[in-house]
Each structure stands twice: as C-alpha cells, then as structure tokens.
Amino acid sequence: MLIDSHAHLQDPQLLTELDAVLERAHRAGVEGIICAGYDLPSSYLAVELAQRYPGVWAAVGVHPGNLEGATPAVYDELTKLAKSEKVVAWGEIGLDYVNGIADRSLQQVALREQLSRAAALGLPVVIHDRESHADILALLQAAGPRERAGVMHCFSGSSEMARECIKLGYYISFAGPVTFKNARRVREVAVTIPPERLLCETDSPYLSPEPFRGKRNEPARVVHVAQVLADLFSTNLSAFAAQLKANTERLFALP
C-alpha cells in the first residue's frame, strides 16, 4: 500500500480518463494521492477532485512558472481555498531557474509570500526547486524551522542540502528520475536520507519512471519509484512501502 505524494490529476492528460487512472492506481496498491495545484484554476480543480474522490487530497498554490497575474487577490483566494475540507498542503511553490518566469526576484517574492501564508495556516508546503538550490535553501532557512514544514518534491539537490532541509522540518521526496539509468547521483543522494523522512511520488503526468520513461505518467507507477528506493535501502517493497506511507500520513496529517 502506497501514497503518491505528488500528482497533477487535474492535468487534462489525466482528467479526461480519471476514473480509469484511479482504478489502475487502486489495483496497483496506491490508496492515496496528493493532488498538487500550480495556479488558481488548477488549485480549485484539485480541491474539487479531492472532495469528489476518497483517497485524494489537495494542495493549493502557484508554481514559479505561473506567476504572471499572481496578485495579492489571488493569494487571498488561495488562502480561503486552503481552508476547504481535504486541503492538506500549500503548493506546489518554489523557484525554477529553467522554466520559471524570467524575473528571479519576483519568483523569490512569490515564494516568500506563499511560505508565510502556509505557515499562518499551519499547512506544510510542497517545494519545487529546479536549478535554484542555493537560493531556495536560503529562503527556507530565512522562513525558519517548522514541524511538518513540507516536502522537497522531486528532490535534485545534494545530500548536504537535504540534511539542511530536514533540520528545517522538511521531508525529501523522489519521483521517476530516481529510477533513470543515468541518474546515479540522485540514487546516491536518496540513500543518505533517513528513511523516516523519505516520500515517493510520480509528479504525474510528468517524469514516468523506468520502464515507462518518456510516456505519460500516472499514480499507479509510484510503485516503480518505491521499488527502487526499497532496493537502495536493501529492504523489500512491502516493508518500505509501509514506511513511506506512514511518512506521508505524518507530514500531511492524513486521517
């Protein structure tokens, strides 16, 4: 039994056949899915799906690639939405120096704003970090430590960075890339994470794990991510899945 700690079920690639996607997840032993928003409309959809499907929970927030038009009014609306039933986190938010908006200082302002909104609500955050390790760590450190601070989603930093994030209250999550043949470095980092702070995810519809690399991803495939993590820790899938599931439940305070 596993939880996919990060998927975008509201993405049109999944939404158009959501019942089949959820059925396959269920059959694969995936009993929970955290559906992450990336702008205001996708956050509304995440909440709607969470309220419609048992086993689906929502995160609301604005991704660094979607900050055009992210006015204070948008954050106010997200704050209201975040109080809805089944919202368990604020995200995904962060810095993206590859696909984010060009103005990096604006990305940083938006991250600071959303970190403080989440902290005020007592919600963990879902952090997206692409080629922005030093800046993101500085911002998270400035925001200070918090119990259940959040998750470093699809982590690509070093083990030293992971250690600093863990000190601040973050969990470290791995997605499809940990399974890629040429991703030895990601696996070398993953194996240094204390098992009680590890999560697994798909980031569906993106980042399909091996042997589906390059194809549209879906939550059922989180099993392949968990299997690679179990192998790294030289344990079996069912024992490790129980640990990963317990970690996800603890971070997001799932019932």
- Residue ranges binding Ni ion (CB under 5 A): 203
In the bound complex, what is the minimum distance in angstroms from residue 103's beta carbon to Ni ion? 21
Q: Which is nearer to Ni ion, 203 or 218 (CB)?
A: 203
Angle between helices 159-167 and 133-143 (to 10 degrees): 10
Q: Which is nearer to Ni ion, 38 or 240 (CB)?
A: 38
Beta strand pairing status for 56-60 and 87-96?
parallel
Cα separation, 255 vs 242, in Å, equals 15
DSSP 8-state secondary structure symbol assigned to residue 213: T
In the bound complex, what is the minimum distance in angstroms from residue 201's beta carbon to Ni ion? 8
Cα separation, 85 vs 33, in Å, equals 15
In the bound complex, what is the minimum distance in angstroms from residue 235's beta carbon to Ni ion? 27
Residue 121: strand, helix, or coil: helix
CA distances from 181 to 81, 187, 188, 240 (A): 40, 10, 13, 21
Q: Which is nearer to Ni ion, 167 or 216 (CB)?
A: 216
In the bound complex, what is the minimum distance in angstroms from residue 126's beta carbon to Ni ion? 8
Q: Which is nearer to Ni ion, 65 or 196 (CB)?
A: 65
**In the complex, which residue's CB is closest to Ni ion?**
203
